[in-house]
């Protein structure tokens, strides 16, 4: 059961950005001291959480500049992934949430591998390349890429074919960057030097607003959220049919299975739908909708109601 953002594009505008991309290290529940970054023992922050004596504390890494999946609001990390991970770990037997840690997207996989974090919750697309390094939970969300441009800009592309030497931005190490590399640079539509890679999409959006880049390639639900909030708009959606998973270490089968059971539990008890409704503005059980269910993983031929009018070109990812 995977929520497909392309089919449900309304969202509440909860996201406000102050424009700063400072990396803040905060836990949602407890404020951990995080100055011991390298040799961080798994067990030293868990002792004030008596819930289940044997439960293993789980440190979750994220990149909180990706609304509405993860972002900073009033100094706290919030978002769909945050609530989802919290709910999943509550259901995951033998484990309990210790804290969330905010870091650059490109640091998440290394941090998982060196044991500084135990789970990645960062709207991370399950890709073959990443699966060589880490494992993923079952998919929990489907998304495509979107192309963002500045409001009122001259450049109004309708597909990737309309690119011709524009300055383009994306966040380093993302599937959006993959689209830029494979479909814009390798196809000769822009040059290497036309591409700017950012540590954070928040910075990329700032440069888009300032006219330093002409377009950004970014996961569609996030592009929409920035468009609600900033002087940027979604020019078109480029279908990639990506699926997000929670990342775990390759040898951590127990945790992965517990997470999958947790995902199943929150899908069955309605928590998942509630979270989708909360963060994407989708009514939990909308009587007006004929199909009434969002279970199908690949359903993508529904009209998208976000007014783009263009589903992009027909090639897949
Ligand atoms: N889904 C994209 C990826 O996995 C972007 C994720 C992100 O920037 N947080 O590459």
**Would you state the pLDDT for residue 54?**
86
Q: Which domains does the chain have, with CATH numbers?
A: 3-140+245-280 (3.40.190.10), 143-241 (3.40.190.10)
Q: How far does residue 124's CA lie from ligand 1's centre (Å)? A: 5
Strands 3-4 and 141-150: parallel
Nearest ligand 1 atom to the CA of 175 is 10
Name residues whose C-beta falls within 8 Å of residue 44's C-beta, 6 or more positions apart in sequence: none
The residue contributing the CA closest to ligand 1 atom 10 is 174
Element (H, E) at 198: strand 195-198
Residue 119 to residue 255: CA distance in whole angstroms: 9
> Where are the alpha helices (H) located in 180-219, listed in sequence order?
201-209
Q: How confident is the model at residue 53 (pLDDT cuts 50, 70, 90)?
A: confident
pLDDT in tens, 280-313: 985 434 444 444 444 444 433 333 333 333 333 3
pLDDT in tens, 109-157: 999 999 999 999 999 999 999 999 999 999 999 999 999 999 999 999 9
Element (H, E) at 175: helix 175-179
Q: How far does residue 48's CA lie from ligand 1's centre (Å)? A: 33
Nearest ligand 1 atom to the CA of 178 is 10
Name residues whose C-beta falls within 8 Å of residue 22's C-beta, 6 or more positions apart in sequence: none
**Would you state the pLDDT for residue 310?**
38
Q: How confident is the model at residue 223 (pLDDT cuts 50, 70, 90)?
A: very high
> Full-prediction pTM beyond 0.75?
yes
Q: What residues flank ligand 1, with Cβ below 6 Å?
A: 63, 66, 105, 122-125, 171, 174-175, 219
Closest-CA residue to 102 (of 14, 10, 37): 37
Per cent of the chain over pLDDT 70 is 72
Tokens of 74: 């009033």
Q: Probe ligand 1: pick from 61, 107, 109, 123, max atoms within 8 Å of CB? A: 123
Mean pLDDT of 198-204: 97
Element (H, E) at 149: strand 141-150
3-state DSSP assignment of residue 271: helix
Confidence check: pLDDT of 85 > 90? yes
């Amino acid at each position: 059961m995977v929520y497909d953002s392309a089919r449900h594009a309304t969202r509440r505008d909860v996201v406000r950005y102050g424009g700063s991309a400072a990396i803040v290290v905060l836990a949602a529940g407890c404020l951990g001291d995080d100055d011991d970054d390298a040799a961080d023992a798994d067990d030293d922050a868990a002792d004030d959480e008596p819930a289940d004596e044997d439960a293993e504390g789980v440190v979750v890494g994220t990149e909180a500049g990706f609304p509405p999946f993860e972002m900073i609001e009033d100094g706290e990390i919030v978002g769909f992934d945050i609530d989802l991970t919290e709910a999943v770990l509550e259901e995951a037997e033998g484990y309990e949430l210790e804290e969330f840690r905010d870091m650059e997207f490109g640091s998440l996989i290394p941090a998982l591998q060196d044991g500084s974090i135990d789970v990645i919750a960062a709207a991370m697309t399950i890709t073959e390349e990443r699966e060589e390094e880490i494992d993923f939970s079952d998919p929990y969300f489907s998304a495509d890429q979107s192309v963002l441009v500045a409001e009122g800009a001259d450049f109004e592309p309708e597909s990737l074919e309309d690119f011709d030497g524009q300055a383009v931005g994306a966040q380093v190490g993302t599937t959006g960057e993959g689209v830029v590399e494979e479909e814009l640079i390798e196809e000769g539509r822009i040059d290497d030097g036309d591409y700017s890679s950012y540590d954070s999409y928040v910075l990329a959006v700032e440069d888009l607003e300032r006219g330093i880049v002409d377009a950004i390639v970014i996961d569609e639900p996030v592009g929409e959220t920035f468009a609600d909030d900033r002087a940027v708009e979604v020019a078109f959606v480029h279908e990639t049919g990506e699926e997000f998973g929670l990342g775990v270490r390759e040898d951590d089968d127990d945790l992965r299975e517990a997470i999958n059971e947790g995902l199943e539990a929150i899908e069955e008890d309605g928590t998942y739908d509630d979270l989708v409704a909360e963060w994407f503005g989708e009514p939990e059980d909308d009587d007006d909708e004929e199909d009434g269910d969002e279970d199908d993983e690949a359903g993508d031929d529904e009209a998208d109601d976000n007014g783009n009018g263009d589903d992009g070109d027909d090639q897949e990812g």
